[in-house]
């Protein structure tokens, strides 16, 4: 039984069939050979026994022939029949022959041993060659016929004719045969008994093997079935006993292995699905999940939560300037620094890009988030040593509190987000708590966005044109196209709606239209006889980033048959700083001969490098400097410096927002090339501008006249 238990299912089956097969074969072979062998042996045995017997009789006759002859000689010589009969009786007792006859020398019967002697005188043929003492044996169908010559020294007096009978031999052989048969029968019975026992043993062994097999095969299969059902249900903890090194053992091992692999894959999937690969922080998914849990828990335990939205300032510039690899490393370092500040119970997550979130649970007062926000900002204040340079990073943080600001996940997130935008808007590198006012602003912004989308679909925008005149003689040389939109019947300030168009990217949908409107205005003015003016179209960073911008500009210029130098594109320094695509588009536009003006110069970086790099054609001094240049010496200084700079670089200078004659006079004396402002003309719809131009042309003509 121990062997059976040790046997694997594979070998059990194999051994059982081999054992049964061998046993059957051995039995069949043994039976065949035994039957075959004994069949011949039985006949041979009887045969040899009978031959031995007759040989023995003949030999006895041969050896005792002369003695018998001597004994018969005397009574024959004396023709003493009774003595002869006595001898015949002796011979009969000795050899039990069929008949014994005493013949005379001519072969006539003297006596047959009986008193009646019926054969007396009957003549029998006698063998010729025999001499006294020699026995002549002749085989006849009824047995052997033995002639024993009786005589003395070559003289034959007669013969003893002995007809030997096979009866005795046959009786002996018959009894021998019976004994052999009995022995054979015994052997057959024993053989059959052994065969039967062997078959029973084989059956029992097969039964045992069968049980063993069913145990070793069906039980593991049942187990596997059960475990596979668990696996299918996603429960991978169940493991199979691995058992011996056979197919089932291997299958069990494979299933276990499969479960391990599956578990590993699931863990990887979980990692991928829930963690950010760059920073190893929880990702957006896990963040939502954790925040949901935190809100439930806080609701149950009547505790507070603070949600922080942390957005790096100007990260895009780092990415663009130093490449995404450095950007990625920096994000990793930032994540590392921030994660050192948070408790294990808090969740710091990366929402994507340069935006991180922090969930702080079990909040007791509102002072704690303030301290945490400051700690986060302080942690980033230290420069990051990267690629042999020191990188300075700041962040803007928005904070929303549960349940004070919101009691649902979505609104808490939205509020933290708008607080973050407010922090950014109020100068970056700081933090802002969410307030009701912020929410109102956000609402307003949202409804404005909605209105703007509708306005785009309905084509509700208009372009107004404001002339730019030469400072020295007041001649109109260009027009600036300015976007106008009416909200609820009243004009909406561009400063209010244009930033929303820019942030939402909607402004890109106006580029094509603005270019066409502007060029068609030029065509109209030319048709009216105002000469080849130039049009200045404002482009925001979003528009400058448009991948199809160059195609668009090319197509519109061709369509209106306009030389490129009659189109001037105004862009702010920050849009050029912001993005590589903006920069390459700007470079390609100037390469085509399209004029480039740097708008609002002085409010941004006022980078001289950019002025040179983009080969700007015009510099527009921002309204704010012009407005106060007569009262504020600082602004006056800036205006003076910028004008000198433009003159030095050979770039045309434009002063925006010129409202008074004094301003115009001062700018002219400082060498400003072009003037733009209410002093000359407000931005007007094209038809009104044409009227204004006509009036102005008429006025000049009258003056000249
Ligand atoms: P900007 O390009 O600097 O445009 C000049 C602004 O100064 C215009 O404001 C114009 O109306 C105003 N302005 C002109 N003369 C005077 C003046 O004598 N006094 C004062 N106080 N202001 C004067 P507006 O039209 O409100 O546009 C504001 C800004 O919106 C523009 O500044 C420009 O950056 C942007 N913008 C306007 N139209 C478009 C447009 O079609 N596309 C894009 N992307 N931006 C536009
Ligand atoms: Mg402008
Ligand atoms: Mg401007």
> Is 80 exceeded by the pLDDT of residue 200?
yes
Q: What is the pLDDT of residue 233?
A: 83
Q: What is the pLDDT of residue 2?
A: 44
Give 104's strand partners: 158
What is the Cα Rg of the chain in Å? 67
Give the residue from 403, 535, 514 showing the smallest Cα distance to 468. Answer: 535
Alpha-helical regions (H) of 388-461: 409-425, 436-458
Contact 596, 652 (CB under 8 A): no
CA distance linking residue 484 with residue 465, whole number of Å: 10
Q: What is the pTM of this model?
A: 0.57
Alpha-helical regions (H) of 78-134: 81-95
Evaluate the CA torsion angle 607, 611, 614, 619 in order and state its sign. Answer: positive
DSSP 532-574: S-EEEEE--HHHHT-TTHHHHHHHHHHHHT--GGGEEEEEEHH
> Is 50 exceeded by the pLDDT of residue 189?
yes
Whether omega before 403 lies within 30 degrees of 0, making that bond cis, reads yes
Note residues around ion ligand 3 (Cβ under 5 angstroms): 599-600, 656
Instruction: Choose which residue among 656, 660, 676 to substitute to test ligand 1 binding: the one with the highest number of ligand atoms within 8 A of its C-beta.
Output: 656
Across 118-122, 182-186, 504-508, least confident range: 182-186
Q: Residue 429 region, left (φ>0) first, then alpha (ψ -120 to 50), else beta? A: left
Mean local confidence (pLDDT), 392-407: 94
Give 568's strand partners: 536, 595
Q: Is 657 in the pocket of ligand 1 (CB under 6 A)?
A: yes
CA 403 to chain centroid: 44
Distance 497 CA to ligand 1 centre (A): 12
CA distance linking residue 413 with residue 407, whole number of Å: 10
Give the residue from 221, 211, 205, 244 showing the smallest Cα distance to 8. Answer: 244
Nearest CA to ligand 1 atom 26: 494
Contact 465, 525 (CB under 8 A): no
Long-range contacts of 508-511 (CB under 8 A, 24+ apart): 508/542, 508/543, 508/545, 508/546, 509/456, 510/456, 510/461, 510/483, 510/543, 511/539, 511/543, 511/546, 511/549, 511/552
| Percentage of residues of the chain with pLDDT beyond 70 | 94
The DSSP H or E segment spanning 359 is strand 355-363
Instruction: Choose which residue among 538, 576, 618 to substitute to test ligand 1 binding: the one with the highest number of ligand atoms within 8 A of its C-beta.
Output: 538
Residues 6+ apart with CB under 8 A from 569: 536, 537, 539, 589, 594, 595, 596, 597
Q: Is 570 in the pocket of ligand 1 (CB under 6 A)?
A: yes
CA distance linking residue 623 with residue 620, whole number of Å: 9
Q: Set out the domains of the chain in order of their start, with CATH numbers.
A: 27-49+170-273 (no CATH), 71-169 (3.30.450.20), 284-434 (3.30.70.270), 447-704 (3.20.20.450)
Mean local confidence (pLDDT), 541-550: 90
Instruction: Choose which residue among 483, 628, 677 to substitute to test ligand 1 binding: the one with the highest number of ligand atoms within 8 A of its C-beta.
Output: 483
Across 80-89, 195-204, 214-223, 566-575, least confident range: 214-223
What secondary structure letter does DSSP report for 331? H
Q: What is the pLDDT of residue 13?
A: 65
Q: What is the pLDDT of residue 675?
A: 98
Nearest CA to ligand 1 atom 21: 657
Distance between terminal CA atoms of the chain? 134
Mean local confidence (pLDDT), 244-264: 84
pLDDT in tens, 39-93: 777 777 767 766 666 667 667 777 777 788 888 888 888 888 898 999 899 888 8
Mean local confidence (pLDDT), 483-506: 94
Give 308's strand partners: 358, 399
Which ligand 1 atom lies nearest to the CA of residue 466?
14
Mean local confidence (pLDDT), 184-205: 82
The DSSP H or E segment spanning 349 is strand 347-352
pLDDT in tens, 290-338: 999 999 999 999 999 999 999 999 888 888 878 889 999 999 999 999 9
């Amino acid at each position: 039984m121990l062997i059976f238990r040790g046997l694997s299912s594979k070998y059990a089956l194999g051994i059982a069939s081999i054992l049964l097969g061998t046993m059957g074969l051995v039995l069949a072979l043994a039976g065949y050979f035994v039957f075959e062998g004994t069949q011949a042996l039985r006949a041979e045995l009887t045969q040899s026994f009978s031959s031995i017997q007759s040989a023995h009789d003949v030999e006895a006759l041969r050896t005792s022939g002369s003695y018998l002859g001597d004994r018969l000689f005397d009574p024959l010589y004396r023709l003493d029949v009774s003595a002869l009969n006595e001898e015949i009786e002796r011979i009969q007792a000795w050899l039990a022959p069929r008949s014994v006859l005493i013949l005379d020398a001519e072969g006539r019967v003297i006596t047959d041993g009986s008193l009646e002697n019926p054969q007396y005188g009957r003549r029998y043929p006698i063998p010729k060659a025999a001499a006294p003492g020699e026995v002549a044996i002749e085989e006849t169908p009824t047995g052997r016929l033995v002639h024993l010559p009786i005589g003395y020294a070559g003289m034959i007096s007669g013969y003893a004719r002995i007809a030997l009978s096979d009866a005795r031999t046959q009786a002996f052989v018959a009894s021998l045969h019976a004994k052999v048969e009995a022995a054979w029968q015994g052997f057959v019975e024993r053989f059959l008994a052994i065969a039967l026992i062997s078959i029973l043993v084989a059956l029992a062994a097969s039964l045992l093997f069968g049980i063993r097999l069913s145990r070793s095969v069906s039980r593991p299969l049942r187990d596997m079935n059960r475990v596979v059902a668990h696996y299918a249900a996603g429960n991978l903890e169940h493991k199979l006993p691995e058992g011996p090194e056979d197919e089932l053992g291997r299958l069990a091992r494979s299933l276990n292995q499969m479960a391990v692999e599956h578990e590993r894959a699931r863990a990887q999937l979980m990692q991928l699905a829930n963690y950010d690969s760059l920073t190893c922080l929880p990702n957006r998914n896990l963040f939502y999940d954790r925040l949901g849990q935190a809100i439930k828990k806080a609701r149950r335990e009547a505790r507070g939560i603070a949600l922080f939205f942390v957005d790096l300032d100007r990260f895009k510039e780092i990415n663009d300037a130093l490449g995404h690899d450095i950007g990625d490393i920096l994000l990793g370092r930032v994540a590392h620094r921030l994660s050192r500040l948070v408790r294990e119970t808090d969740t710091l997550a990366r929402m994507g890009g340069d935006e991180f979130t922090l969930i702080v649970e079990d909040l007791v007062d509102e002072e704690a988030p303030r301290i945490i926000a400051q700690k986060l900002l302080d942690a980033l204040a230290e420069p990051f040593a990267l690629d042999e340079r020191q990188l300075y990073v700041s962040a803007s943080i928005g904070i929303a509190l549960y349940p004070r600001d919101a009691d649902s996940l979505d609104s808490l997130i939205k509020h933290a987000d708008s607080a973050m935008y407010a922090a950014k808007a109020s100068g970056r590198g700081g933090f802002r708590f969410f307030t009701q006012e912020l929410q109102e602003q956000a609402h307003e912004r949202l409804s404005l966005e909605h209105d703007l989308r509708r306005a785009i679909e309905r084509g509700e925008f208009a372009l107004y044109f404001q002339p730019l005149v030469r400072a020295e003689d007041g001649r109109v040389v260009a027009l600036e196209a300015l976007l106008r939109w009416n909200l609820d019947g009243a004009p909406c300030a561009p400063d209010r709606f244009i930033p929303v168009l820019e942030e939402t990217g909607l402004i890109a949908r106006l580029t094509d239209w603005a270019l066409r409107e502007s060029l068609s205005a030029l065509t109209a003015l030319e048709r009216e006889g105002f000469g080849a003016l130039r049009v200045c179209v404002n482009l925001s960073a979003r528009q400058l980033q448009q991948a199809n911008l160059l195609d668009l500009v090319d197509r519109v210029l061709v369509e209106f048959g306009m030389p490129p130098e009659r189109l001037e594109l105004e862009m702010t320094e920050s849009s050029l700083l912001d993005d590589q695509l903006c920069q390459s588009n700007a470079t390609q536009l100037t390469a085509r001969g399209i004029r480039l003006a740097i708008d609002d110069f002085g409010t941004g970086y006022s980078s001289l490098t950019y002025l040179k790099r983009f080969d700007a054609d015009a510099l527009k001094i921002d309204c704010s400097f012009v407005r106060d240049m007569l009262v504020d010496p600082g602004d006056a200084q800036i205006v003076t410096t910028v004008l000198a700079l433009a003159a030095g670089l050979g770039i045309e200078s434009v002063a925006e927002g010129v409202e008074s004659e004094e301003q115009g006079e001062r700018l002219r004396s400082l060498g400003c090339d072009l003037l733009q402002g209410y002093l000359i003309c407000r931005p007007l719809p094209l038809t009104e501008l044409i009227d204004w131009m006509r009036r102005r042309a008429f006025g000049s003509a009258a003056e000249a006249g």
